[in-house]
Structure 1
Amino acid sequence: MKEKNILIIDDSALMRRVLSDIIKSDKRFKVLGAAINGLDGLNMLQENVDKVDAVLLDINMPLMNGIEMLTEMKKQNIETRVIVVSAITTKDAKETILALELGAFDFITKPESLETLKSDEFSMQLLDCLAVATEFMPAQILSQTTSEKEEPPLKHTSKPVTKVGVKKLVTIACSTGGPKALHTILPKIPKQLDAGVLIVQHMPEGFTKSLAERLNSLCQIPVKEAEDNEVIQKGWVYIAKGGRQLRVVKDKEGNHRISLSLEAPRKGLLPCADVMFESLVNTDYDEITCVVLTGMGSDGSDGITTLSNKKRIHVIAQDSKTSVVYGMPKMIKKTGLVNEVVPLQEVSDAIIKNVGVY
């Protein structure tokens, strides 16, 4: 069993020590080196590019910050999986979204207290993220996340003509690699899309707002973080609020509204796509387009299966080749409910063709 080499880049001596201790506690990983800023880190990476399996990168550092380092890595075509270690301030959340857009694999949040920083919970979160990034996982997890031999794209092209006045909704579920995938898909969606769009992206509170704001600045269609009790309108995108479960409910006037609730995570997820899909069973939508993008695990599969028994759905799954982690799309494909398997670059076209514009 070959150890995976991890490079730590953080200007805090305490963080470097804590991260090093966590990595050294797991036989799967070892610390290749530790840098105090992005400039030193970039030099270390350049010198050891064939040896580094993953990088833990801070955002705010002197001389060269994390964003500048990722930008330089992109210019130099250095393709190393980077995990951003981010604080949860509004400024850091916005920069983390930009880091993901620039190619960072994923991020974990820095605990706000020393006690939490040294907790088993933070250690497990870090090690789990490193395991996914380096594809160094137990067989039962690996079977849900790694790419399999690419199959020909699955496309069911025959579809009855949609009647005028039909109530339609687009739903998207994504996790690891999701923010970058959304940056590819949503800018191609026109603001005249004949449906509202609901997105469940696995993210903590605060980061979903920054993600929505960033996407809104890039898209024709308006994008916002979902608010409790607001009416879902066609031509709008609503991103589920981190730290809340999102459901769709129908009010007395027949409007479909968003319901946000603070409750226990389901399967460790808050928000959870299964919860959103299951809530749609009791709505008046005539057609629901379900899109499953890159991400670890199987979130969305149970909910879509339940929904398929009550509603007319059209399921689009991202293919394995373009998925950062081929878990969620693979598991929904296994249900036999998928109508289309397409590369990431074709997902927006598949949505538009299925839903139409007004």
Structure 2
Amino acid sequence: MKKIFLVDDSALMRSVLSDIINSDSKFHVEATARDGVEALEMLRQSNSYDVMVLDVNMPKMNGIELLQKLNEEKIRIRTMMASTDTMEGAKVTMDALDLGAIDFVHKPDRASACKGEDFTKEFLSTLWSVSISKLPTIVSVNKTEKPADKKIDKQIMQAVQKSTASISGNKIVAIASSTGGPRALQAVIPKLPKNLKAPVVLVQHMPVGFTASLAARLDSLSEISVKEAAEGDELQKGTVYIAKGGVHMHIEKNPSGKLVIHFKDGPTREGVKPSANFMYESLANSPYDEVVCVVMTGMGADGTEGIKNLKASKKVHVISQDEESCTVYGMPRAVATAGLSNQVVSLDKIAQEIVMNVGVS
């Protein structure tokens, strides 16, 4: 049974969320705290919890400040954000994920609205994926990376780009990620050059509203252009298109024969929406010579069936993230177990391998 530490300033919300957590025999609320100050004191004394469910907006010390303190004091705990602040792409969600929170749910404004079946299901599913994930690494609150590291990275990528300038063929990169993805993507997308000789389409499992914040964050860190995909976007080389939360992204030809993004609503697939399976399958009739599929950290098996179906009609090269560097080794494991992976590489090598496969203009 997983031990849960619940931190929320509302007594009613603590009661409602405790009932939801304890309703599943896999979990038990071991302790609660009313704010970040109380939570920090309790974690200093004993950190025997499997997951901390953390509110953002609290008196004395809020959730973001608590995560900063935990990093400063090198206290590692799997954290799931549950806050009314994590709505409509709030920047605070990205800040929490940057500071080591593993995943999040949007908590309705009213405690009574938390009792619905949809919220309960989403909450417990997210809690489970966080509970079986790797412990987060400590983040330096002031600087996440030493300038020397960035210099070495840049030198490696420049050498890679030089050696790949002669790569020919019309290719596309299609990335799938889930739990742990937003932070993992920060180790991949900012390393891609702006003259990458392929468009990049990306499905990250996120609710409606949050993918715009993810795109903005990645765009601010990257040379390559990153945007939340919009209906009718024409695919361009050197641009990353992130699927919108809450709808499935397909790549289709428009009436004038251009390849564009098209969104479709519909039921979830593999329990998620957007689904990477649909994205991969929609590339089956595209004019690309090769699809470079990248499957990164995440729960479940989204992407495996889609790649399998895509392989029946297209040349496909599959790069999957290794177990060691995954927050949750689910999606990459499913691809590797199905015998679909051409390469299994660590997170810090994924960008390099993408460039090695598609080249630069």
Q: Pick the TM interval, shorter chain.
A: 0.7 to 0.9
* Residue identity opposite 1:18 in structure 2: V
- State the distance in 2 between where 1:90 and 1:7 align: 22
Look up the match of 1:200: 203
Residue among 50, 54, 66 paired with 1:57: 54
Q: How does 1:77-156 map to 2 (within 5 A)?
A: 77-87=74-84, 93-135=90-132
Query: CA-atom RMSD, angstroms?
Result: 2.0
Structure 2 residue aligned with 1:178: 181
Contact 1:195 1:234 (C-alpha < 8 Å) held by counterparts: yes
Number of residue pairs matched by the alignment: 332
Paired with 2:166 and 2:194, the residues of 1 have a C-alpha distance of: 20
Query: How far off its partner does 1:120 sit?
Result: 3.1
Superposition TM-score, scaled by structure 1 size: 0.88
Q: State the alpha-carbon separation in 2 of the partners of residues 237 and 323 from structure 1.
A: 22
Deviation at 1:224, TM superposition (A): 0.7
Aligned partner of 1:157 in structure 2 is: none
Partner of 2:291: 288
> For 1:291, what is the secondary structure of its paired residue?
strand
Contact conserved, 1:212 with 1:224, CA < 8 A, in 2? yes
| In structure 2, C-alpha distance between the alignment counterparts of 1:167 and 1:319, rounded to whole Å | 27
Aligned partner of 1:218 in structure 2 is 221
**Other-structure match for 2:309:** 306
The one-character-per-residue Cα deviations of 1:187-219 (angstroms, maximum 9, x if unpaired) are 111111111111100111101111111111111
Distance in 2 (alpha carbons) for counterparts of 1:200 and 1:284 = 21
1:78 shift after superposition: 1.4
Cα distance change, pair 10–164 in 1 and its aligned pair in 2 (3 A): same
SS of corresponding position for 2:186: helix
CA contact (8 A) 2:206 2:245 kept: yes
Matched residue, 1:152: none
Deviation track 1:21-80 (CA, whole Å, cap 9, x = no partner) reads 22233333222221111121111111111x111100011122211111112212222111
Distance 1:92 1:301 in 2: 28
TM-score, with length taken from structure 2: 0.87
* Rounded Cα–Cα distance in structure 1 between residues aligned with 2:257 and 2:168: 14
Asked whether 1:325 is paired with 2:328, we answer yes
| CA displacement at 1:355 relative to structure 2 | 0.9
CA 1:209–1:192: 2 relative to 1, 3 Å:
same
1:133-160, Cα deviation, whole Å (9 max, x unpaired) = 333xxxxxxxxx89xxxxxxxxxxxxxx
More off after superposition, 3-12 vs 308-317: 3-12
Please state how far the C-alpha of 1:324 moved relative to its aligned partner: 0.9
Q: Give the 3-state SS of the residue equivalent to 1:171 in structure 2.
A: strand
Correspondence for 1:250 among 247, 250, 253: 253
1:235 aligns with 2:238: yes
Q: Which moved more, 1:24-33 or 1:292-301?
A: 24-33
Distance in 1, Cα, partners of 2:110 & 2:126: 21
Distance 1:353 1:165, change over 3 A: closer
- Residues 239-296 of structure 1 show CA distances to partners (whole Å, capped at 9, x for unaligned) of 0000111000112433210001222222321100000000001111112110000111
Tell me the equivalent position of 2:33: 35
Of 83-92 and 99-108, the range deviating more from structure 2: 83-92
Give the whole-Å Cα distance in 2 for the aligned partners of 1:134 and 1:251: 43
Which 5+ residue runs of structure 1 have no aligned equivalent?
Answer: 136-144, 147-160
Q: Residue 340 of structure 1: CA displacement?
A: 0.5
| Within-5 A mapping of 1:162-173 | 166-173=169-176
- 1:191 counterpart SS class: coil
Q: Which amino acid aligns with 2:256?
A: E
Q: Tell me: CA distance 1:91–1:11, structure 2 relative to 1, closer, same or farther (3 Å).
A: farther
Shift in alpha-carbon separation, 1:256–1:92, aligned structure 2, 3 A: closer
| CA offsets 1:146-182 (integer angstroms, 9 cap, x no match) | 9xxxxxxxxxxxxxx9977632110000111111110
Aligned partners of 1:86 and 1:96 also within 8 Å: no
* Aligned-partner SS, 1:282: coil
Question: Are the counterparts in 2 of residues 224 and 239 from structure 1 also a CA contact under 8 Å?
Answer: yes
Check if 1:266 corresponds to 2:263: no
Unaligned runs of 5+ in 2: 135-163
Match of residue 150 from structure 1:
none
> For residue 276 of structure 1, what is the amino acid of its counterpart?
M
Does 2:43 correspond to 1:45?
A: yes
User: What is the letter of the counterpart of residue 26 of structure 1?
Assistant: D
**Residues 12 and 111 of structure 2 are in contact (CA less than 8 Å); yes or no, is this contact kept in structure 1?**
no
Amino acid at match of 2:113: T
Distance 2:17 2:43 in 1: 18
